[in-house]
Structure 1
């Protein structure tokens, strides 16, 4: 059994494995990154350090996450070639957790987005797993972490 943070994109349930989550915070003000690709929400200040932030809703649907009290900044440990880096994810209704057996996840049968993992019928409706390591294509990863380095200078 693993613990997952549950959230929504477009009214559908998604899961992030809790061991990948560093923190779940109220939405802070984000510094925009001019000229950035769709899905890049900006840069957040976390404990004095800049953290790149993507909007999962914008990435998946082209529509920015709704500004709700339950919309959170989820900081995840993103696996990078030079070690883990913090990555911020804007996630709607990110206020609950769920226990699920890893064996309960099955392929969704859709290969459109490599960061979408298997689905599970946990808690009565399908929930899809987000694969953090596959979330950023190389070009987006370069833009995000370059913006953070520029913020540090």
Structure 2
């Protein structure tokens, strides 16, 4: 499995790159009211409004810092309406990938009661924890996030 590495605080995390659309520079999103505090806001992505989750805030409790290596990882998020919607994941030090054929994201277990936290594993870089980004937003929370034409991926109007 090819994984994209990023940091939240001093901790190293990895997510399966299979559903990554692209990695873009950090953007300043528009704040949205009445959403969980780890939702940084929404921004215009190829003509549609797309939510951004601040992974540093979610995992570490502090906002992602505006650094050169802070990026927005664009993924296809499987929402409750049965469609895949673009979703931005803001993270720090998004600069490397790691290939681990011995790991399988479909068989990875979760840690505790938090469905998006996956297995910990050791690598030459240190201890790395998998993130199951598909489980970052629960069903009740996803409805207000995917609003206003977020189905217009790549300017084509299709999802």
Does TM, normalized by the shorter one, top 0.5?
Answer: yes
What CA deviation, in whole Å up to 9, does each residue of 1:69-96 have, x standing for no partner? 1100111111224221111011010111
The verdict on how the C-alpha distance between 1:67 and 1:117 changes in structure 2, with shifts beyond 3 A counting, is same
The verdict on how the C-alpha distance between 1:60 and 1:52 changes in structure 2, with shifts beyond 3 A counting, is same
Instruction: Give me the whole-angstrom Cα distance separating, in 2, the residues matched to 1:26 and 1:77.
Output: 18
- Which residue of structure 1 lines up, in the alignment, with residue 66 of structure 2? 67
Question: Which structure: greater helix fraction?
Answer: 1
Instruction: Give me the whole-angstrom Cα distance separating, in 2, the residues matched to 1:47 and 1:151.
Output: 9
TM-score normalised per structure 2: 0.82
The unaligned stretches of length 5 or more in structure 1 are none
What is the number of equivalent residue pairs in this alignment? 149
Q: Does 1:77 align with 2:76?
A: yes
- Which residue of structure 2 lines up, in the alignment, with residue 89 of structure 1? 89
Instruction: Give me the whole-angstrom Cα distance separating, in 2, the residues matched to 1:16 and 1:71.
Output: 16
Instruction: Give me the whole-angstrom Cα distance separating, in 1, the residues matched to 2:100 and 2:74.
Output: 21
Instruction: Give me the whole-angstrom Cα distance separating, in 2, the residues matched to 1:22 and 1:103.
Output: 21
TM-score normalised per structure 1: 0.85
Return structure 1 stretches of 4+ with deviation > 4 angstroms: 104-109
Conserved 8 A contact 1:38-1:62:
no
Instruction: Give me the whole-angstrom Cα distance separating, in 2, the residues matched to 1:144 and 1:97.
Output: 28
Instruction: Give me the whole-angstrom Cα distance separating, in 2, the residues matched to 1:25 and 1:109.
Output: 28
Q: Does 1:100 align with 2:100?
A: yes
